[in-house]
Amino acid sequence: MNAIRARVRAALLAAGRGVVLSIAILAGSITLFVWTVLSLAFIPLGIGLVTTPYVLELVRKHANRRRLLAVTWSDIRIPVPYRPFPKDLRTGFTGQVERTRLILKDPATWRDIRWLLVDMTAGYVVSILAGALLLYPVEGFVLAAGLWRVFTDDRYWYAFVPVDSQATGLAAAALGVVLFATGVLVSERLLRLHFVIARSVLAPTHEQELARRIDRLTETRHEAVDTAASELRRIERDLHDGAQARLVAMGMNLGTVEALIEKDPAQAKKLLAMARESSAEALTELRDLVRGIHPPVLAERGLGDAVRALALRLPFASQVRVELSGRADAAIESAAYFAVSETLTNTAKHSGADRVWVDIHHADAMLRVSVTDNGRGGAAVGSGSGLSGIERRLGTFDGIMAVSSPAGGPTMVTMEIPCELS
């Protein structure tokens, strides 16, 4: 009985999600497809050169929202294959023309447009069917309960059943039971089929995916080298300005102590106390420096406990859920740890949240981490933002990041890194 109830609840949830998707298609996909066609048609007139990048940016956000729903609702991963714009892209009309040219040269742009067309046809049919199979039977039950009396003078058709009497009303209810049972069996599969259709159109071909990954790995390799060099300079600066300066001062104090130990024991004792304090402060700074390079708790106890330790230091309530059957490579654990650390730091500084949820699990050779907060939202990946740094850090390991942060919240940052656990 519990299994049946769980199955019905899952089917009802899938039906509700199917209705949400159908509304999103009517309000989003159809509108954006019309805007896109008009904007492209107006390019020869010059108007489209201005409007096309903005319209296609909305299309990409719409597609990325569907990607996020695919992985959260049906665990279907759809790659995000968009080519980044050059950092030195000019402003003004000339820059807008160049932006239009670059976005139209991106194969992902044309896949998005094809997806809008498929989404408003096959995608809509599948999503609305997932909801209708569990909602339409309600009408049959209502007809059998007495609503059939309204149609005694004018026959009413419920599917293929003509309803004009109690007997035909009961027939409508029987058909409703069959439809409901069918919905319980197939609604989840229909919802998944919707995202499979989306993936078949939005995902790049194998050759395109390989070319994109090569370009991405080449870019992230250069960024990793620059980041490593910057990190080395930071470590050198911290050592020079912190622990090294304290150790030099401590050595000078000990030299003075050596000269004063017989002439002025009291002053020598005071300098020894200062040297002891300097050594303790230098040790603290060295420990902080090591923790910034590779936290001991991460090396000793793994990613889950290290993230739990991070969450305990947050100024608001947190919940960490970890489902890992082993440990990833040290480099991947370190990248995931610092990505979560920077995400939580951004949350504490900018979100205004009073609660955060962290979920870490491994499935299908992929380490998945999601950080969700109940703050004000509005987070975005952009030049100079902390999220851009996280994306670059993950890109070194062929990882990806998706951000959902509508105005008013909540914000959900999802990170994935391909890896195996040992």
Query: Above 70 in pLDDT, residue 292?
Result: no
The continuous run of DSSP H or E covering 253 comes out as helix 244-260
| Residue 295 or residue 342, greater confidence | 342
**Among 389, 380, 359, 386, residue whose Cα is nearest residue 371:** 359
Task: Using pLDDT thresholds of 50, 70 and 90, give the confidence band for residue 62.
Answer: very high
Helix pair angle (265-293, 206-238), 10° resolution: 180
Looking at residue 5, what is its pLDDT? 80
Helix, strand, coil fractions of the chain, as percent rounded to 5: 70, 10, 20
SS3 229: helix
Specify which residues 415 forms β-bridges with.
369, 401
pLDDT in tens, 356-369: 899 999 888 888 99
Going through 192-255 in order, the beta strands assigned E by DSSP cover: none
What's the rounded Cα separation, in Å, for the pair 75 and 405? 20
Contact 381, 401 (CB under 8 A): yes
Q: What is the pTM of this model?
A: 0.56
- 115-129, 137-151, 379-393 — which is least confidently predicted? 379-393
Determine what percent of the chain is predicted with pLDDT higher than 70: 77
Q: What DSSP designation does 401 have? A: E
Question: Which structure tokens are listed for 158?
Answer: 């419920």
SS3 416: strand
What mean pLDDT comes out for the span 125-134?
88
Looking at residue 31, what is its pLDDT? 93
Residue extents of the structural domains in the chain: 2-204, 207-293, 299-418
Query: Above 70 in pLDDT, residue 235?
Result: no
Task: Using pLDDT thresholds of 50, 70 and 90, give the confidence band for residue 344.
Answer: confident
Contact 379, 410 (CB under 8 A): no
Give the highest mean pLDDT range of 90-99, 125-134, 238-247, 272-281: 125-134
The per-residue DSSP string of 157-183 comes to EETTEEESSHHHHHHHHHHHHHHHHHH
| Residue 33 or residue 256, greater confidence | 33
- 111-115, 178-182, 293-297, 371-375 — which is least confidently predicted? 293-297
CATH architecture type of domain 299-418: 2-Layer Sandwich (3.30)
The continuous run of DSSP H or E covering 51 comes out as helix 47-73
Half-sphere exposure for 382 (CA within 13 Å, toward CB): 3
What mean pLDDT comes out for the span 58-78?
89
pLDDT in tens, 382-405: 545 567 777 777 777 778 888 888
The continuous run of DSSP H or E covering 371 comes out as strand 366-373
Looking at residue 50, what is its pLDDT? 84
Residue 273 carries which side chain, given as an amino acid letter? A
- 102-106, 198-202, 221-225, 281-285 — which is least confidently predicted? 221-225
What mean pLDDT comes out for the span 69-94?
78
The per-residue DSSP string of 267-311 comes to HHHHHHHHHHHHHHHHHHHHHHHHHHHS-HHHHHH-HHHHHHHHH
| Residue 382 or residue 355, greater confidence | 355
pLDDT in tens, 250-286: 667 667 766 667 677 777 677 777 777 767 666 666 6
Going through 89-229 in order, the beta strands assigned E by DSSP cover: 156-158, 161-163
Looking at residue 143, what is its pLDDT? 75
**Residues in Cβ contact with 154 at an 8 Å cutoff, skipping those fewer than 6 apart:** none
